[in-house]
Structure formats: C-alpha cells, structure tokens
Structure 1
Amino acid sequence: MARILLLDDEEALLRLMADVLEHEGHDVITSTDGRRSEERDLIMTLDLVVTDLMMPNSDGLEVVRNVRSANPGLKILAISGGGRAVSQNYLPAAQALGADDILHKPFRPSAFLEKVKSLLVK
C-alpha cells in the first residue's frame, strides 16, 4: 500500500489517524513536528503527507512549501481545527500553496479515510 507521513501536534489524533491508515495496510510515519518535512530523503519516499496547519516549530503552511519544493508531485492533505476562523483562513491558504485537499477538524475517521483514498488514486 502507500507510505504516508502524518504530522500533527495532537498526539491522540495522530495515533487515531495512524491506526486508521495502518488498519488499511498503509506504512505510516508519524511526527508531532512539521520539521520532518525538511527531510528531503524521506519526502522522496512518500506517497502522501497529511499535515495539521497549527503546529509548533514548523507549521503546516511551511510543510506544504517544503514538500512542494522537494517533491512537487507528492500529494498533500492539510487538516485544521483551532476554531472556525483559523480553519477558514488557513485551509484555503494551504490549498493556494499547493495542498491537494483539505479537511476540517473535527472529522470522522471514515471521512479522513475517504480523503486519503481519493488522493492516493489521483
């Protein structure tokens, strides 16, 4: 199946997303920090990056820029909660920078899995 990098500083959500994807047979790498997107060798081995937008050290917008620079064809799913205003402002910005799709938190695991499946077949 696919090799997926999950980036989210909410550890419970990170584990839930990883469990959902691993149950589907995907190889999942997790990190609570967006700095993993700076690892070009890693980025070149992935099929998908799922990134939260609001994280310490390196936010999701920076992740999108890093991934697009290192591997322009790599699919990116940007996720965000943090209140209505944050989601409304940052998710469209993530798409403008190159995220292939967005998902508002909170979300159901089934909605998350559908977004992932859709991006992996594109």
Structure 2
Amino acid sequence: MNLKEQMKRDVKAVFHNTDEFAEEMEIYYDGEYHTIPVILDYEGAQDRKKPSSDNAGGIFRVDVKLYVAFSDLNFMPRQGASIEIGDDIFNIVKVGNEAGEIILDLESLDE
C-alpha cells in the first residue's frame, strides 16, 4: 500500500470516524438530504472589520471549513452553491479535494 492509499483509508477510518473527530450531521445540498460524518472548523469564524460598503451594523460574516469524506458524498459540491448544515445555510466559497477528503470553505451572514 502506498502513501496515497493509506491516507485515503485514514480519512475514513480516523478523521471521519464519529468516535474520533467527526460528528454525524444532516446536510441539504442540491435538493437532497445526506446524513454523514463531517468535521466543521469554526476557528475561522470571526467578526470582520466593516468597510464603508459592507453590511449594516450588527451583521457579520461567519467563515467555516467543512471536511467530508468523498466516499460519503460521491460528488463534488459546486463553488457558489448553497449548502444547509443543521439549521444554518452557507454559501460555498471554495471547493477542494485532497486525498479523498472534500474541503469546503463556507460563509454566511449572521446577526
């Protein structure tokens, strides 16, 4: 087994294992619900500095990274599409696929 094969196995067996890092959540994308193990990274969530043309006072952008095993979705979400995770709706800003893991950069506006 080479390194790439081992990494793909580890994505599912370790990182997306609900006993380790992942949490099973319901995702709604492109008219379909998927209940799958995901990792949400809110470390990037922050109030951004408000330029003069930005949103009204009290509105801030939430940045989140979503990690999901490609084998759980079997498709790549599209940049610019919307995705609902639990009760939150996000816009997909960036889409990546590394070693069998889909990485989505998401954002939403919140109060």
TM-score, length basis structure 2: 0.27
Greater helix fraction, Structure 1 or Structure 2: 1
TM-score, length basis structure 1: 0.26
Greater strand fraction, Structure 1 or Structure 2: 2
